[in-house]
């Protein structure tokens, strides 16, 4: 009978059903979360504190998805989204929420993750307010606009969320203005020269994606044309026309991606004109960025994120520091002046070569970079008598590998500074490490205003 009762509980909500709903909190994807007959209901576009009439669009198991049919009591933080294609596009989720509201809710998203996945009393740790931006617009240094055809003209933009409908975006207000300008110019030139967009269904056309990256500090910018085949009709004329309309362009690159895939880049790149890489600076550091090199998308907030990591590390000049998942070495470089010795590792050999070059270019002689996993190198160094005092981790959204967590618990550095882009995996990993480590502080950082994403710097001490 118990089984039947729980089963009937799960089937109370049906598709098409309407009911009043109070939104209690924000979900990790920016949707409103309410409860009806003890079941969780996710409502995109609804804000905490709002009272709505909800219509169920999808009912499955223990939760349902709904839409707002009527807004009975709006949040005081609700505003009109300034982007004309906000609802269609799906690239941003929170333009209808005031910026003060966004910062508050992002802190709450981190809190929810720790309440759900750990037994830690979050009121007993230093949990700071989210570090925001003075101007939360035009902050992205790189755009990747897919191209298509509509009414005989080329369009460029993003696919609408959960669909294959391409939304034409002429002026994306979270992008650096230069990336918008370049995309529009290249789109117009390709249209005038009859360079057709790639059609996956028909396997026809050439141009797949227009990618633009700009150096906020240097003003250098690069345009990458991702094509389905190597041959571009009248390519010399195309390059000449881009240079005529964008005379200060630093680099024009073609990337070839012939596969039927959702991945943007293919394996081969050709320099059509200018330099292979553009330069960008952050404080006293200078970075060379090739088309496929990873670099933080919001350089203004990156400084604040790395400063928060540096503050958490509390370096005195005596510590041996490990930069795990080091990439091209950006966080390690930021911390280097406070470390006695710095070692970093990454599984991508090209990243390690870049990290070595970056350290050399900045006169950092006490850094060593190796190819491989942290769980391989840390025990090896330990056997050689080298023991880290501080380990800094900046993993992908999936979080730390279980074997790496075991390695940290075995090696026992004094401090772990965890830079996270996913509150859920951060909380789960902190819970696993809490056998030997105490969570001291949490610092949320808003790297992507107008979206539901939030970064966080956690400090753990043995």
Considering the candidates 89, 172, 421, 456, report the single residue annotated as catalytic. 421
Question: 3-class DSSP state for residue 165?
Answer: coil
What span, in angstroms and rounded, lies between the C-alpha atoms of 439 and 461?
A: 7
What span, in angstroms and rounded, lies between the C-alpha atoms of 231 and 256?
A: 9
The set of residues, in sequence order, having a beta carbon less than 8 Å from that of 251 and lying 6+ positions away, is 220, 221, 222, 223, 271, 273, 274, 275, 276, 277, 278
Answer for the pair 50, 75: CB distance below 8 angstroms, yes or no: yes
Answer for the pair 253, 223: CB distance below 8 angstroms, yes or no: yes
> What CA dihedral angle connects 401, 406, 412 and 415, to 10 degrees?
30
Residue 456 a catalytic site member: no
Answer for the pair 451, 421: CB distance below 8 angstroms, yes or no: no
Cα dihedral sign for 14, 15, 21, 27?
Answer: positive
Answer for the pair 180, 158: CB distance below 8 angstroms, yes or no: no
Angle between helices 235-245 and 177-192 (to 10 degrees): 140
**Residue 391, strand partner residues:** 322, 416
CA-nearest of 422, 424, 428 to 454 is 422
CA-nearest of 258, 215, 224 to 145 is 224
CA-nearest of 13, 24, 18, 23 to 62 is 13
Task: Give catalytic residues, as residue numbers.
Answer: 421
């Amino acid at each position: 009978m118990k089984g039947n009762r729980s089963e009937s509980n799960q089937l109370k909500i049906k598709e098409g059903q309407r009911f009043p709903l109070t939104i209690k909190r924000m979900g990790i994807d920016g949707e409103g979360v309410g409860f009806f007959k003890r079941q969780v209901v996710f409502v995109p576009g609804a804000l905490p504190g709002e009272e709505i009439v909800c219509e169920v669009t999808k009912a499955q198991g223990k939760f349902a998805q709904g839409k707002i049919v009527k807004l009975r009591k709006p949040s005081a933080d609700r505003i009109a989204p300034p982007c004309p294609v906000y609802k269609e596009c799906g690239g941003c989720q929170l333009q209808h929420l005031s910026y003060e509201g966004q910062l508050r809710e992002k802190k709450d998203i981190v809190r929810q993750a720790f309440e759900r996945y750990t037994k830690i009393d979050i009121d007993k740790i230093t949990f700071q307010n989210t570090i925001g931006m003075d101007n939360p617009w035009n902050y992205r240094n790189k755009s990747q606009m897919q191209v298509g055809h509509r009414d005989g003209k080329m369009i460029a933009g993003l696919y609408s969320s959960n669909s294959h409908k391409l939304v034409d975006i002429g002026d994306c207000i979270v992008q650096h203005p230069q990336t918008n300008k370049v995309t529009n110019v290249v789109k117009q030139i390709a249209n005038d020269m009859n360079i057709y967009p790639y059609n996956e269904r028909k396997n026809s056309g050439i141009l797949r994606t227009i990618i633009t990256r700009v150096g906020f500090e240097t003003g250098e910018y690069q345009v990458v044309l991702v094509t389905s085949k190597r041959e571009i009709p009248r390519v010399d004329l195309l390059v000449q026309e881009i240079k005529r309309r964008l005379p200060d362009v630093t680099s024009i690159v073609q990337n070839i991606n012939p596969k039927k895939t959702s991945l943007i880049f293919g394996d081969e790149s050709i320099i059509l004109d200018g330099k292979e890489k553009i330069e960008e600076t952050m404080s006293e550091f200078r970075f060379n960025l090739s088309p496929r090199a990873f670099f933080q998308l919001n350089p203004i907030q990156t400084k604040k994120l790395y400063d928060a990591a540096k503050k958490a590390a509390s370096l005195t000049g005596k510590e041996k520091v490990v930069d795990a998942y080091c990439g091209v070495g950006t966080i390690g470089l930021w911390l280097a002046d406070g470390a006695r010795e710095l070692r970093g590792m990454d599984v991508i050999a090209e990243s390690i070569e870049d990290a070595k070059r970056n350290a050399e270019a900045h006169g950092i002689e006490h850094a060593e970079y190796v190819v491989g996993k942290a769980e391989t190198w840390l025990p090896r160094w330990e056997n050689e008598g080298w023991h880290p005092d501080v380990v800094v981790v900046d993993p992908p959204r999936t979080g730390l590998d279980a074997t790496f967590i075991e390695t940290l618990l075995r090696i026992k550095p004094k401090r772990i500074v965890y830079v996270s882009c996913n509150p859920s995996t951060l909380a789960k990993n902190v819970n696993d490490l809490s056998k030997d480590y105490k969570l001291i502080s949490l610092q949320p950082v808003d790297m992507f205003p107008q979206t539901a994403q939030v970064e966080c710097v956690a400090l753990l001490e043995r």
